Structure 1
Amino acid sequence: MITTKIAERSLLGLKDISKEEIVSILDRALHWEYHQDKVHNVLHGKFAANMFFENSTRTRFSFEIAEKRLGADVVNFSAATSSVEKGESIYDTVKTLESTGVDVGIIRLKPIGVLAEIAPKLNIPLINAGDGNNEHPTQALLDLYTMRKHFGSLEGLNVAIVGDVLHSRVARSNVFALRKFGCKVSFCTPPNMRMSDLDVPYISMEDALKADVVMMLRVQLERHESGMLSSAEGYRQNYGLTSERAAQIGKHAIIMHPAPFNRNVEIDDAVIESEQSRIFPQMSNGVPIRMAVVERALS
């Protein structure tokens, strides 16, 4: 049975984590970002397992680089080549890796609730790298880190999240975290992509452009086939951050996107690397944030 100490070092989500704990992670990430040495021996002799039961590029590579920079030995797990394909449960797979001597598990999976269910049965800390449309805590942490770097403080920021929030774990984690800092968070989304379980106000695209942070979400183009999305061009016209709309954003404001992005659908090609865009710096900030989270899990 998982001990209290191990549970405290796990990071399953941001809903129940304190503001002070978030600040400590952000501060530690700042330390790692500006540390002169690229590779350290802080976690020498520790084994980190990246268990991705769902495909990922940015998150997996970001975690792997973070782990290696800390000096940990890294084991990468792929569900496609594992016994999961033979019918083994996710719990049994994770328990097997724990039994081989892994010290921390970074897990990404589609089913909601499985992570919270298996965590108490393990004796290693777990880090949520995205579970279904529930939470994606390290993405939200790097988003907060990016905002704090630009504005100097998170307190009272006006953040507009634009896109398919119904299926977004990024949106959920950001709402949970940002509200701890007194931020005003609003959603701008098509009516059929709203979520009902979070009390967040919905605003127009015109009002979203008045925010301090305009955070765009990826359009899941596969939903076009299911009828939830009428067309990519229609979405761009109504909810896309076009060059014309980007020109209306306040000069102090920034544009964000968790990526991957669909160029010229939810965000115009010219906006992605514009002066106010922080999209690629967001990706860079993922490494020091994940260094801080992994170090926290194993310290």
Structure 2
Amino acid sequence: MTRITLLDGGMGQELVRRSGAPVSPLWATQVMLDRPGLVAEVHRDYARAGARVATTNTYAIHRDRLRGGASNHYAADGTELPDLEARFADLHRAALEEAGAVRDRGRIAGSIGPLGASYRADLHPEEAEAIPLYAEVAKLLAPSVDLLLFETIPSLAAARACLAAGRQTGLPVWLAFTVDDEDGSRLRSGEPVSEAVRIAQEADAVLANCSAPEAMPAALDAFSAGDRPFGAYANAFTTLTKEYVAGGTTAAALSARRDMGPEAYADHVMDWVDRGASIVGGCCETNPAHIAEIARRLRAAGHEIA
């Protein structure tokens, strides 16, 4: 029997589904202002499904995402989104309060998404500029969370910045890398995952996230060369092609896979566990039903969910 840490699933796409709000760079952030309590509802549903780690709804709360006039600050119809930078700290507090709804059900992971844009190593700031920006978020989250989860890391330079920022808090730091959907042995930057493993040796866990489930085995095989706990949580999007990534479009341009329901997704997860993964869960377009099926399958295989 193996102790497996079961993460929750996707938050942003689930909030879109429940709120009916259009997808935009601020959709998961704006919903906390428009529909307070909805994020807590999602957290509770994941906890009931079996998740033992709740990931805060803070992935996109970066100053560069909130600032009016930024290149990624427009809705799909071309409308400029409101400037929310003045609400930077308030939005983090709101997300932490929503996550507090499941404080008694396990650990809370403070989510910190990438600067610049998801998947885009070329838009990530230089390391010296990035470290204080990540550290500002990490220090806001630290008093209310159990660990820091840096998500969708696209490059080695970004990973170094995340690790340096996280280490300023004294909390455990988990690094989650996004890998090429067609070649899971490489990051979105094209750099080898094997090099990411070297950086992650100074973290507390290393994961692959927000990539196709089929790409995860290659990443996990690379992770297994290190001595950190490792795992994966994939998305259920149609393939993130290089053309999509280079275009800088939002999730509004993506669609959910019809072949990645809870049972199919859990098949992938159980393969990851067989490869040594001890931390598993779901990312975009997975929901509480996916987590419930993973929990069921883990228990049926004799694993302990932690």
> Same-fold call, TM > 0.5?
no
TM-score norm. by structure 1 comes to: 0.31
Structure index of larger Rg? 1
TM-score norm. by structure 2 comes to: 0.31
